[in-house]
Amino acid sequence: MNAPVKSLTGLDLRTEIDRLRKERNAVILAHYYQEPEIQDLADFVGDSLDLSRKAAATDADVIAFCGVRFMAEVAKILSPEKTVILPDMAAGCSLEDSCPPEQFAKFRAAHPDHIAITYINCSAAVKAHSDIIVTSSSAEQILAQLPMDQKIIFAPDKNLGAYFNRKTGRDMLLWPGACIVHEAFSETELLKLKAQYPGAPVAAHPECPAFILDHADQVGSTRAILEFALASPAETIIVATEPHIIHQMEKAAPHKHFIGAPGADGNCNCNMCPYMALNTMEKLYIALRDLEPRIELDEGLRAAAKRPLDRMLEMAAGTVGKGDVGKTKVTGD
Ligand code: SF4
């Protein structure tokens, strides 16, 4: 049994959050990159695709989204009638920031013969300018449904786009964005770690640069990394993504040794997402108590952003064929 997490005038936050969750008919969704206490009390922990599906399917009145802002926006886009709260509205994303909507709209306009496949880590306004949204776990399946001669802009993550170009043999035009967390891994430090633990496989997220992925035995979404780590016969596994995912690995396989891949000086916290870290138990409690801060979206923007998200959910379920993908009409910004 975990010890009570107390603060804000000595409240037992876990008990209080539980009480408010029932009172509000709320569901708590948490990303694998959240702190362990939040993962442990969430109704569901998952990657972006899992969380999108849960947000679309829930019958709760309130979605308390423990992740970053674009993820909570996705919940609101898919479930506009729900109240969606985010413990800290400042929980942004460096990848989202690397793709301003106005510049993306101009880039699209300059390539009228391309469709835009956009990673879910972007603002609602960029989604509204996209044809299909993908997550790291759905991208390959979705790309496989498009003709090989289809011209594609892939945004905003250049590392993820380059990885899928290599994997699928496509030549997608890449928007030059990146995630500060996954860019922080050091090849030199990773090689030192591999020498220290010979035979330990490396599982890496495709947001990492190619110089890290080249040393990986498994490349995949956070969920795929988790599944690989648990299924691998290896006792020691090196994990190259945000290290809070190791919490789920240690819970499921306490006998194994999971090591986070190091950042530049081998010992920094630069591979921890500073945006995810803004959400705390105290802020989650306050958000459930006050039903603030809330995600609110202009209806035109929400509807425009929903179309490419619906395409993702349909294509990830295999219900859309090769000929069904046309361009999204952009109606909002
Ligand atoms: S880990 Fe990177 S991509 Fe994920 S939320 Fe943090 S900054 Fe954004």
Per-residue pLDDT tens for 5-27? Answer: 667 778 899 999 999 999 999 99
Give the Cα separation of 86 and 65 in Å (integer).
Answer: 5
Helix (H) or strand (E) run with residue 66 in it: strand 62-66
Residue 240 CA to ligand 1 center (angstroms) comes to: 13
Beta carbons of 152 and 108 less than 8 angstroms apart: no
Give the mean pLDDT of 186-198. Answer: 94
Q: Would 271 be classed as within a structural domain?
A: no
Task: Tell whether 63 and 77 lie within a shared domain.
Answer: yes
Q: Would 311 be classed as within a structural domain?
A: no
| Ligand 1 binding pocket includes 93 (Cβ within 6 Å) | yes
Beta carbons of 281 and 288 less than 8 angstroms apart: no
Beta carbons of 322 and 111 less than 8 angstroms apart: no
Residue 48 pLDDT: 82
Task: Tell whether 117 and 165 lie within a shared domain.
Answer: yes
CATH of the domain at 191: 3.40.50.10800
| Ligand 1 binding pocket includes 273 (Cβ within 6 Å) | yes
Given 148, 178, 208, the domain boundary residue is 178
Mutate which of 31, 33, 86, 93 for ligand 1? The one with the most ligand atoms within 8 Å of its CB, which is 93
Give the mean pLDDT of 237-249. Answer: 95
The pLDDT > 70 percentage for the chain reads: 93
Residue 140 CA to ligand 1 center (angstroms) comes to: 20
| Ligand 1 binding pocket includes 242 (Cβ within 6 Å) | yes
Give the mean pLDDT of 264-284. Answer: 88
Model pTM score: 0.89
281-290 and 13-23 helices, crossing angle to 10°: 30
Beta carbons of 325 and 144 less than 8 angstroms apart: no
Task: Tell whether 12 and 55 lie within a shared domain.
Answer: yes
Give the structural domain span for 32: 6-91+276-301+324-330
In this prediction, residue 332 has a pLDDT band, given cuts at 50, 70 and 90, of very low
Name the phi and psi angles at 152, rounded to 5: -135, 135
| Ligand 1 binding pocket includes 16 (Cβ within 6 Å) | no
Count of domains for the chain: 3
Q: Minimum mean pLDDT among 10-14, 76-80, 110-114: which range?
A: 10-14
pLDDT per residue as tens digits for the range 47-75: 887 888 898 899 999 999 999 999 999 99
Q: Would 79 be classed as within a structural domain?
A: yes
Helices (H), 221-276: 222-231, 246-252
Given 236, 260, 284, the domain boundary residue is 260
Q: Would 39 be classed as within a structural domain?
A: yes
Given 178, 198, 213, the domain boundary residue is 178
Q: Would 1 be classed as within a structural domain?
A: no
Nearest CA to ligand 1 atom 8: 93
Q: Would 309 be classed as within a structural domain?
A: no
| CA-241 nearest atom, ligand 1 | 1
Nearest CA to ligand 1 atom 1: 273
